[in-house]
Chain A
Amino acid sequence: AQTVTQSQPEMSVQEAETVTLSCTYDTSESDYYLFWYKQPPSRQMILVIRQEAYKQQNATENRFSVNFQKAAKSFSLKISDSQLGDAAMYFCAYRRPLEGKLIFGQGTELSVKP
C-alpha cells in the first residue's frame, strides 16, 4: 500500500526567507502524481504545486518549487521569499493516475514570523 510521510509536524520561517518542507512516500508504481496542498484556517485545500512522476524536471510555480527525487521517493517543497499569507498547514499527497483517491501525509504546520 502506498504511504506518505511528513516528518516535520511544525516549521517556522522568517518573512522573506526560504523554507523547505519534507515529504517521503512509498510506492511500487512507476507512474503517479505528487501534490502539495495548502490548508489555511479557512479549511479549503488549495493546490500549491503538482509533479508528474514521469517528468524529471522539477515543478515550479512562482515562489514555490519542488525537489523531486524519484529513486529516493522524496518530494520536498521549497518556499522562497516567504510571506505572511504562506502560514498554513501543508499536506503532501500522492495519487495513482487512474484512481481518484489522494493519499495524504500528516501535514506540516508552517508559521511565518514578521
Chain B
Amino acid sequence: ETGVTQSPTHLIKTRGQQVTLRCSSQSGHNTVSWYQQALGQGPQFIFQYYREEENGRGNFPPRFSGLQFPNYSSELNVNALELDDSALYLCASSSPPGLAGFSGELFFGEGSRLTVL
C-alpha cells in the first residue's frame, strides 16, 4: 500500500510569485485535503477535494486554489505569495465517509516546506 507522497519537500519563493505543490493520495483514497501549518501552530484546513470537486473550504483567500485529477492526485496553487504564506503545507487523504470500513482517519504526507522571502 502506497502512502501519501508530496513534492517538493522544500522550496523557496519570493513575494508575489506563484507556487504549485503536489500530492499523491494513498491507494484507494479518493478524498484529498490540504492544510497549512505555520511554525509552532496546529494545521489549519485549507480545502478538500472529492471526485475532482472542491467540497469544503477553510478561511483562506481565493489566491489559494486547488485541483484534483482523475487518479485522485491533487495540486495546491498559491498566487501572489505573501510572507505569511511561509509554512508547512500538508496533504492528507482518506476514504469517503459512508464507505465500509471508514475510520474517520486522515493519512498525511510529510509536507512541503514553503519559505517566502
Chain A residues proximal to chain B, CB less than 8 Å? 4, 33, 35, 37, 42-47, 50, 52, 91, 95, 97-107
Contacts and interface: CB of A to CB of B under 8 A. Distances in A.
B110 A43 contact: yes
A52 B104 contact: yes
Contacts of A101: 33, 45, 48, 56, 58
B55 interface: yes
Nearest first, the 7 A-B pairs at minimum CB distance are A104-B42, A100-B48, A45-B108, A33-B104, A101-B45, A44-B110, A43-B111
A109 to B, nearest CB: 9
A104 B90 CA distance: 13
Interface in B69-94: 88, 90, 92, 94
Interface-centre pick from A52, A98, A101, A104 (highest chain B CB count, 10 A):
A101
Contacts of A37: 108
A55 B98 CA distance: 18
A100 B42 contact: no
26 contacts: A4-B42, A35-B104, A42-B110, A43-B88, A43-B110, A44-B108, A45-B43, A45-B108, A47-B107, A91-B43, A95-B106, A98-B98, A100-B31, A100-B33, A100-B48, A100-B50, A100-B56, A100-B106, A101-B33, A101-B45, A102-B92, A104-B42, A104-B43, A106-B41, A107-B40, A107-B41
Given A97-B97, A98-B97, A106 B42 contact: yes
Given A45-B106, A100-B94, 16 more contacts: A42-B110, A43-B113, A45-B43, A46-B108, A47-B107, A50-B104, A91-B42, A95-B106, A97-B97, A100-B31, A100-B50, A100-B106, A101-B45, A104-B42, A106-B41, A107-B41
B11 to A, nearest CB: 14
